[in-house]
Structure 1
Amino acid sequence: MIGKLKGTLDEIAEDHVVVDVHGVGYVAFCGARTLASLGGVGEAVVLFIETYVREDMIRLYGFASENERGWFRLLQNVQGVGAKVALAVLGTLSTGDLANAVALQDKAMVARAPGVGPKVAARIVAELRDKAPAMSGAADAESFALKRGLGDGVAPGPIADAVSALVNLGYPRDQAASAVAVAVKEAGDDAASTVLIRLALKALSR
């Protein structure tokens, strides 16, 4: 099994790249975001690989990070999500955006990915609700928990009010929730909504 490729970009196509590793060209299928993050032909590249072996083919999927590859695997645990849909989701949303969408139960954000309808998007945010925290990393655990509280409708009043106020000011809900999460870390769980709003706006202005 191939877990990582380190070599030179030999070709960049619409949905894949060819990586030259000591004279052997490996075709790796990648999402749009991964493709956009790569350099040009002839430049060095490192891709984390998920290898699929079937009777009639061997296919490699390439990712810019181990975390992205982990989300690719996790997404396919959802009913109706195969490699193509998982790659489309990761090609549209960063892993951070996807974690936010799951925490906030924001199926509309996931449905932005091509080929992902409302029903599949709803299953993704629902079925990954309890699995996503492990993918977010320990540093983001508190932020994820806050956002999940918002998604479940059980967040403390001041936090929910602060997010609502920022949304009313025109900020996207996921961005507002992230800013309030920063404010809570600074001011504490028992801070008033006015304090959280002020600190969140400060965070958004950075």
Structure 2
Amino acid sequence: MIGKLKGVIDEIGEDHVVLDVHGVGYVAFCSARTLSRLGSAGEAAVLFIETYVREDQFRLFGFLTALEREWFRLLQSVQGVGSKVALAVLSTLTPGELANAIALQDRTAVSRAPGVGPKVAVRIITELRNKAPAFAGEAAASIGLKQELGEGVASAPVADAVSALTNLGYSRDQAANAVAAALKNGGEGADSAKLIRLGLKELSR
């Protein structure tokens, strides 16, 4: 089982990279996001690897971070999601953005990925809702509040503040991040007006 490769980029294709490791070229299939951040031929690179062994194929999938690899595994635990769709999702959303979308039950964000229709998006959100917080990465600080918003159990001031900020044109994710920061500064007992004011201050930075 190959878990990690460190070598020199030999070539980058539309959906894969060939990584030269001591004279052996390993083909690793990657998300578009990973390929765009790898660098150019001749440069050094490190990939976290997921190895697939089937009767008729042996495939390597490469990721820049262990967290992205974990999401690749998680996504494929959902019915109807294979490696191709999982890579499409990770090409569209970062691990943090994906965790946020699942927490907020944002079907539109998840279904932006090619090959992910409304039904598959709902399954991803439903089946991974309880697992997402553990793999939120940079989104971990506000994931709890976003889950409360997604499940409709957030406090009235929080829900009202997020609603007000989204009505001003911010995305639900941006609004939730701003209100989460506002709660830290204004305290848990802050009313919606204070949360909106502090949230706007956060968004203007």
TM-score by length of 2: 0.96
What residue is the counterpart of 1:51 in the other structure? 51
Residue 21 (structure 1) aligned with residue 21 (structure 2): yes
**Any conservation in 1 of the 2:8–2:45 contact (CA below 8 Å)?**
yes
Query: Following the alignment from structure 1 to structure 2, what is the Cα–Cα distance between the partners of residues 68 and 120?
Result: 20
Using the aligned pairs only, state the percent identity. 71
Bigger Cα displacement from structure 2, 176-185 vs 80-89: 176-185
Q: For the structure 1 residues 93 and 140, does the alpha-carbon distance in structure 2 shift closer, same or farther, using more than 3 Å as the test? A: closer
Shift of 1:122: 0.6
**Any conservation in 1 of the 2:100–2:139 contact (CA below 8 Å)?**
no
Bigger Cα displacement from structure 2, 23-32 vs 178-187: 178-187
Moved over 4 A (4+): 139-142
**Aligned ranges 1:155-194 → 2 under 5 Å:** 155-194=154-193
- The Cα RMSD (Å) is 1.2
Query: Following the alignment from structure 2 to structure 1, what is the Cα–Cα distance between the partners of residues 61 and 204?
Result: 37
**Any conservation in 1 of the 2:51–2:60 contact (CA below 8 Å)?**
yes
What residue is the counterpart of 1:69 in the other structure? 69
Q: Which runs of 5+ in 1 are unaligned?
A: none
What residue is the counterpart of 2:88 in the other structure? 88
Shift of 1:196: 1.3
1:190 aligned counterpart, secondary structure: coil
Query: Following the alignment from structure 1 to structure 2, what is the Cα–Cα distance between the partners of residues 133 and 170?
Result: 26
Query: Following the alignment from structure 2 to structure 1, what is the Cα–Cα distance between the partners of residues 115 and 177?
Result: 27
Shift of 1:199: 1.8
Q: For the structure 1 residues 70 and 88, does the alpha-carbon distance in structure 2 shift closer, same or farther, using more than 3 Å as the test? A: same
Shift of 1:185: 2.1
Residue 100 (structure 1) aligned with residue 100 (structure 2): yes
Query: Following the alignment from structure 1 to structure 2, what is the Cα–Cα distance between the partners of residues 188 and 27?
Result: 51
Query: Following the alignment from structure 2 to structure 1, what is the Cα–Cα distance between the partners of residues 37 and 82?
Result: 23
Query: Following the alignment from structure 1 to structure 2, what is the Cα–Cα distance between the partners of residues 156 and 189?
Result: 10
Q: Which amino acid aligns with 2:114?
A: P
TM-score by length of 1: 0.96
What residue is the counterpart of 1:199 in the other structure? 198
1:89 aligned counterpart, secondary structure: helix
Bigger Cα displacement from structure 2, 175-184 vs 140-149: 140-149
Query: Following the alignment from structure 1 to structure 2, what is the Cα–Cα distance between the partners of residues 59 and 36?
Result: 20
Q: Which amino acid aligns with 1:192?
A: D
Shift of 1:167: 0.4
Q: Which runs of 5+ in 2 are unaligned?
A: none
**Aligned ranges 1:139-158 → 2 under 5 Å:** 140-158=139-157
2:116 aligned counterpart, secondary structure: coil
**Any conservation in 1 of the 2:96–2:139 contact (CA below 8 Å)?**
no
Q: Which amino acid aligns with 1:26?
A: Y
Shift of 1:142: 5.0
Query: Following the alignment from structure 1 to structure 2, what is the Cα–Cα distance between the partners of residues 146 and 99?
Result: 12
Query: Following the alignment from structure 2 to structure 1, what is the Cα–Cα distance between the partners of residues 120 and 110?
Result: 9
Aligned length: 205
